[in-house]
Structure 1
């Protein structure tokens, strides 16, 4: 695909899309790739990331900085990643507060958003052949299984920070699989979020290095999938989203937890339960009506995001 020519207003729209992706990536269970897909920039994002390889270096040395910048669709990437960066830095504080104070309501919003996003993806599939159905089911089963894995608790060494960046960034650009949740599984979510909040430059640089390596390799795989097997890829991604709903079910009971070095209780294993069971077991209100309202708000957000993706900024 060829890079799209844009005006200033349209580049600002890309920054907004990036900000929405960053906000989603800060939540364990929600993928920024889902937002990118719904807002209509996913394929261009994958293409642009794929361009940031050895070929870009060759263009840089032979034709100069401007040619290399155009080769990687630099203006597009700069706007999107600037939005992501600003959002992650600013939203991380709010995310911690909401997860601690209103977890059921926050999960309700994202449950509705992701459920509607499944429809947003699969509606692009014209014909459901057996192979397409298998891809959809495989994606759903894989994502569901990932959400059932018990998170580990490891020390945030330099190697772990770098490797977690490589793995998590792949999930962050894959709709339905949350990079934040992958970090949670690896025991690296809180260390990375803390590094973002307190601007630990060395940790963030290692993590960013891992992200760069992961992006440059995985984006090529995704670009090839969209080029050669687009319909099957859409089915697989739709399945990923459906399976990930297990993680964002609003009513959970903690069955296993740990206490970190700051004395804070960190849930490791949670069971999804019905609202009535949640009330009986926890003694807390299920807030069913507000939860359902926020699910509908999340679903409406998908509609608005799709409008953002189909209208000229």
Structure 2
């Protein structure tokens, strides 16, 4: 009996000791976090003053700012300094932006950013690439290019953006081999970094339009729209038979953007063989073009299409083309179905 009580007492004592140890650990960690937050707050103030002084007065008293120089020996401080510079770079332009980059160079922060590229964690690598890109550290490009085939989307997307940010159109060379999907957001980032298309780029663009990667084709179509590359028009038309519906939708949008006199006729001819999403896009293209040569086609869709949604949109386009009289005649025709009459009434009422 005494042994049992003694055993229970030992268990209780052990649990109590464990709880006390955990409490002590939590207290120590809380104190550490508090001191760190106070330290970071102080560092932030020092860094903000430094950046503000450089932006406003365009001067940096590097040799006499002993407090800053002492803090700058700490790797945590330098990382915070780097983050602050990147954040500030996004907010300013012109001379202020140049002065921020001078701070980056003067304090050799590119070395800190480059060190992150040798880390194992994806978010650290991506962060390093972002910092080097934001600070326009062009000489780091060979190191950054190694991450174009990295397994992490977070990393290879930043590497892609860096290549295009530094080299413009020439930085898109990875499109020839990329197997991963280029997200819509990434496409917008890349497009925003390209300011012109060099001459004699037609073959490259044609190659991308033949890519096995649908997202590469879609990105290329957006590129064609942005820069109105009329020379590849005939190749664009071939994509209306592509296996991807989204590629076809983007193709219709691109054909409208670089349209010529035969574009609407071609789209109407291709219409019957398209999935519903593409047919809607063709109807939208006809409406946007304002090409009244499509009137007979639109009337046929209104009267004979099997999809109610197509009838509705055809009626709306006809109304926008000034065909109110035709629509009212159809609505008043005794041979017209109740559905068709309701569709026309809806289209007319919506537009009045």
Greater radius of gyration (CA): 2
Tell me if both proteins adopt one fold, taking TM over 0.5 as the criterion: no
Normalising by structure 1, report the TM-score.
0.22
Question: Quick check: which one's helix share is greater?
Answer: 2
TM-score (norm 2): 0.21
